[in-house]
Structure 1
Amino acid sequence: MTSSLSTGHELSDKIKVDVHTQHLPEHTANEADKYAFAYEINIANNSDESVQLINRYWLIIDGNGKQSEVEGAGVVGQQPHIESGNSFQYTSGAVLDTPVGSMQGYYEMQDEDGALFRVPIDIFRLAVPHQIN
């Protein structure tokens, strides 16, 4: 049985994902001994065809090693089409039990022919500023 989802799709390395994070000290989660973070994502389509972001998968790990997984359709309520040479940007957030943690995952994308492929999102750090490493 073959899967229709390709991790070696030729477009995978032509979709670039950049992430910028920040701690949100004013967020109400911080009052409950939690740590709220925002992450801004820019997805650039450097390929010659349009693609659509279908699903997302995140693995979130806090400073104690506690793991949680988040998956679902699209991002921030959208399944954006990203034309060749264009990008899509959005901001979302995560709440951790510790002041330091990390996230990583992938986007499941669809090419113009309807083939699904994954775009990996490298691990990135969520950290309250001035925390000990």
Structure 2
Amino acid sequence: CDVALPCATQNEINADEAAALIKNGCMAVSEGANMPTTIDGINNYLEAKILYAPSKAANAGGVATSGLEMSQNAAHLSWKEEELSKLLRDIMRNIHSACVEYGDQGGGYVDYMKGANIAGFRKVADAMLAFGAI
């Protein structure tokens, strides 16, 4: 396959299965489930430098939409589909931009896992600093 979209359960792709995907020419893995690839499988993706979109970034749209829905309900608003789609698109573009900013490895390769981890850490750290927690 050209693209793998593991969307079922945790740890459904292990090191051997990841190696088989790579050997068979898979160019990208985008996780739709929560952590469907084991750490050894992820290491195979990163070593092979295929595009790997970890669940924390690729699967964020569902969580973002839930947050938007809660905001809408709390404010007693009713957004049109186009407005909600634009808000979600902006959120996902910002996630992508942060992953690229923090995960750029040079030579055109982006380590989206590294980028997502650093971006997430920065977001939490900035919030903790802003609220005087640290």
Task: Report which of the two has the higher share of strand.
Answer: 1
Whether these two folds match at TM > 0.5 is no
Task: Report which of the two has the higher share of helix.
Answer: 2
Higher relative contact order (CA 8 A, sep 6+): 1
TM-score band, normalised by shorter chain? under 0.3
Whichever of the two has the greater Rg, that structure is: 2
Q: Normalized against structure 2, the TM-score is what?
A: 0.20
